[in-house]
Amino acid sequence: MTASIDNLVVLFAATSGASGELLGSDEKEIIQLVWQVVDLANKKTGQLNEVFVRPKHLELTDECKAESGITEETITAAEPLENALNQFSQRLSIEANGAPVCLCTDGQLHIRQVIHPEASSKNIMLPESFYSFFDLRKEFKKNVPSSANLKDLDIQVMADYLNVTTDSSANTPAAVKVQTMAGIVLELISDPHCHSFSQPERVNEKFETGTCSKMERVDDDTVIRARGLPGGAALCLNAQGRRNGEALVRFVSEEHRDLALQRHKHHMGARYIEVYKATGEDFLKIAGGTSNEVAHFLSKENQVIVRMRGLPFTATADDVLVFFSPSCPITGGKDGILFVKYPDGRPTGDAFVLFSCEEYAQNALKKHKEILGKRYIELFKSTAAEVLNRYTSAPLIPIAPAPIIPVLPQPPFVPPTAVRDCVRLRGLPYIATIEDILEFLGDFTADIRPHGVHMVLNQQGRPSGDSFIQMKSAERAFMTAQKCHKRTMKDRYVEVFQCSAEEMNIVLMGGTLNRNGLSPPPCKLRRLSPPSYTFPPPTAVMPADASALYQPQVILNPRPLQPPAFYPASAQLFMNYAAYYPSPPGSPTSLNYFHSPSNAPALGAQPGALVRMHGLTYNNGVKEILNIFQGYQSPPESMALVNSLCGQPSSSEALMTLPALLSAKQPLPDRGPGALGGPFLDLQLL
């Protein structure tokens, strides 16, 4: 619509909750509609119209009563929203004599944040006039570029600038605002401004889907993440290929993104939806594609997509065609079927199918859990974004060899499992660092155990939004959870719960902890090992006589490992990435957040000094190592070779107690074949 408008309808909506810049953010219902027609051609205004609306919940907030002057008795006798909208259409049609009209509101909230969401939730069909409107603030800004920013403009600011005065004898404050807005419109179209109202904004009813290139630049200020969606509306998948109740949405501008953020914790059906800021990188991971096969599949517009899950790995396109025919033919035959595969070409058991209309798609969904081959097939309605997400996402990460555990790490503190002296932080910003967490905890930082901050990573090794904190006592953990729960960190509120060390360790190793209880990590499930198999006892890291030299809390006991010969070499096993790669711990003392206590115990208080040797070859023994330190008083019993967890020599490490500090990277003499390997040894004082 580019032609000039003859009739402008100035509209104002009030709800039973917040008003002003927070209008609609609390999901309250409409209780009042006020409008007035402005004849732009003849520069005059029509009759002021006011209709009260009866909401489903009759309770009004104190703010609403103060701002609107409306009482609960007034709206009790009013008509519901659908009838009020019918009155609006009838009166407008009579006053405009059937001529086309366009709405004009003070900002975006009345149309986008109040009328359309409520009409959608109540299944009310809005008149066509509600799908285009003028934002009076933007029209004023076009004519007066030197005025304040759009966010700072309001009705009174615009009226004061244009010297518009209004009779305040109207019945309600909303009626006064509508009359003032009509006066602003008349002033704008008159000399010397002579403003023309053209090119109104459109409210797009249809959600636009499609692919974008991973090379495309997506503005971070236009993307949001919606969390808690019902299963049928989810666009993102977890590592197991299941819908995780999240979606990433890209808007045309930062203004619309900000409107979406105001819908945080609004409801979709019976569920409330959390809305957060996201980045362009997050969006491209879901909607960005590089596969020509996927692009060709999604290039067919106006198609309904159905996802198939649980297909036999030997299933072909002909099998899928037979499964759906004849009641629901697939668009394009075999071209309308997209099988999802792993990067190495193996089938995943998933496929996407195109149907030309909703009727065919509904007939297809009726085949949910019917048999194809010897397996039942699950069917779900899908979207283009889910096709990209599922097709381009990496498979579950195969089991890798367990990393070698350091013999002398910084000693972790693991309290008794029955004591709830830990806290869990949930909902952290993904960019949050340990320093941000310490700042968030404030005075409670002093109660954190040394190296007691643990960030939980997801299957891709990225922050999951969770972390665990080990506190000095259960009482301090309780106080931390009480005082810090739902505090804000980087514009996000963070949930803080008290928990135990056992729960923390299971989550750090890949398990889950939610309202349904505690679930072990995938590697702990019995299905990975036959019940008759028993694991061998763990071997000692160092001999018992050598271990007596060191403090017991610094010796780390190895965890039992499953022999690699148990599974065939060709077997592909998958598990949670976090099970083998938990995030490194941190604490205020390790980050210099505050000074460590001066009376902290030190290992150096023992007689002599302990060094660690890196760079030894696998065939070195005690004799070869002692030859390196000739001239130092280091008896053989003071040295221990470090074995790996499977009992074999590790990547050449040794522990020795020496009377003096040795220089790092001690040069080695050339002793010929069989001597200690490498040009130098890396010696570290412990």
pLDDT at 147 over 70: yes
Q: In terms of pTM, does the model score above 0.85?
A: no
Contact 585, 451 (CB under 8 A): yes
What gap in Å lies between CA 413 and CA 415, rounded to an integer?
6
Structure tokens at 167: 């009779």
Q: What are phi and psi of 221, to 5 degrees?
A: -85, 10
Mapping DSSP to helix (H, G, I), strand (E, B) and coil, where does residue 308 land? strand
Residue 661: what pLDDT? 41
Q: Report which of residues 622 and 599 the model is more confident about.
A: 622
E-assigned strand segments in 472-597: 487-489, 492-499, 512-514, 517-519, 585-586
Greatest mean pLDDT among 77-86, 163-172, 269-278, 558-567: 77-86
User: Bridge-partner residues for 463, per DSSP?
Assistant: 457
The predicted structure's pLDDT at residue 620: 63
Closest CA to 370 of 306, 320, 323, 314: 323
Q: List, for residues 633-674, the tens digit of each pLDDT value.
A: 555 455 554 444 344 444 445 555 444 444 444 444 444 444
* 152 has a pLDDT exceeding 50: yes
Contact (Cβ atoms closer than 8 angstroms) between residue 355 and residue 367: no
Task: Place 551 in a pLDDT band, splitting at 50, 70 and 90.
Answer: very low
Cβ–Cβ under 8 Å, residues 131 and 203: yes
pLDDT tier for residue 32 given thresholds of 50, 70 and 90 = very high
Query: Which range is least confidently modeled, 162-171, 189-198, 238-247?
Result: 238-247
> How many of the other CB atoms lie within 10 Å of CB of 316?
13
Q: Is the predicted pLDDT of residue 350 greater than 70, yes or no?
A: yes
DSSP output for 42-111: TTEEEEEEEEEB--SS----HHHHHHH---HHHHHTSBPHHHHHHHHHHHHHHHHTT--EEEEESSSIII
Q: What is the pLDDT of residue 541?
A: 45
Q: Which residues contact 487 (CB under 8 A, 6 or more apart)?
A: 440, 493, 494, 496
For residue 187, how many C-alpha atoms fall within 13 Å in the half-sphere facing its CB? 20
Q: Which of 124, 112, 131 is nearest to 23 (CA)?
A: 112
* 383 has a pLDDT exceeding 60: yes
Tallying the residues shown for the chain, one arrives at 686
Q: Residues 39-44: what's their mean pLDDT?
A: 91
In degrees, rounded to 5, the angle at the alpha carbon of residue 656 between the alpha carbons of residues 652 and 660 is: 130
Chain centroid, CA 82 distance in Å: 36
CB atoms inside a 10 Å sphere around CB 191: 6
The pLDDT tens digits for 597-612 are 445 444 444 445 566 6
- pLDDT value at 368 more than 90: yes
Q: pLDDT tier at 119 (50, 70, 90 boundaries)?
A: very high
Compute the Cα dihedral for 326, 332, 335, 339 and give only its sign: negative
- Could you give the CA distance from residue 574 to residue 241 in angstroms, rounded to a whole number? 13
| Residue 418: pLDDT band with limits 50, 70, 90 | confident
Distances (CA, A) of 101 to 8, 209, 306: 6, 31, 41
Name the helix (H) or strand (E) containing 256: helix 254-261
Q: Please state, as a whole number, how many other Cβ atoms lie within 10 Å of the Cβ of residue 19.
A: 19
The DSSP element (H or E) to which 375 belongs, if any, is strand 375-376
**What pLDDT sits at residue 209?**
61
CA–CA gap between residue 457 and residue 467 (Å, rounded): 9
- In percent, the amount of the chain with pLDDT more than 90 equals 37
- Are 43 and 190 in contact by the 8 Å Cβ rule? The answer is yes
Instruction: Say whether 223 sits in a helix, a strand or coil.
Output: strand
Number of Cβ within a 10 Å radius of residue 360: 21
Query: Other C-beta atoms within 10 Å of 393: how many?
Result: 18
Q: Under DSSP, is residue 497 helix (H, G, I), strand (E, B) or coil?
A: strand
List pLDDT tens digits, range 506-516: 777 666 766 66
Q: Which of 16-25, 267-276, 315-324, 554-563 has the lowest mean pLDDT?
A: 554-563
Q: Tell me the C-alpha to C-alpha distance, in Å, between residue 216 and each of 106, 223, 256, 287.
A: 35, 14, 20, 11
**Mean pLDDT throughout 441-448?**
89
* Chain-centroid distance, C-alpha 556: 36
Q: How confident is the model at residue 587 (pLDDT cuts 50, 70, 90)?
A: low
Degrees (nearest 5) of the Cα angle 162, 163, 164?
A: 90
Helices (H), 515-575: 544-547
CA distances from 205 to 116, 209, 317, 352 (A): 10, 13, 35, 25
The mean pLDDT value for 99-112 works out to: 93
Q: Which of 385, 386, 380 is nearest to 366 (CA)?
A: 380
CA atoms within 13 A on the CB side of 306: 28
**Mean pLDDT to the nearest integer, 145-149:** 86
Is residue 575 over pLDDT 50? Answer: no
| pLDDT for residue 526 | 40
How does pLDDT run across 259-284, given as a tens digit for each residue?
999 999 998 888 889 999 998 888 87
**Is residue 441 scored above 50 in pLDDT?**
yes
Give the pLDDT confidence score for residue 607 in this predicted structure.
46
Per DSSP, the chain holds a count of helices (H) and strands (E) of 18, 31
| Average pLDDT score, the chain | 76
pLDDT band at 232 (very low <50, low <70, confident <90, very high): low
CA–CA distance, 336 with 308 (Å, rounded to integer): 13
Give the chain's end-to-end CA distance (angstroms, integer).
76
pLDDT digits (tens, 9 = 90+) for 302-318: 789 999 999 999 999 99
Query: Mean pLDDT across the stretch 124-149?
Result: 91
Q: Does 425 or 576 have the greater pLDDT score?
A: 425
The tens digit of pLDDT for each residue in 386-400 reads 787 776 554 433 333
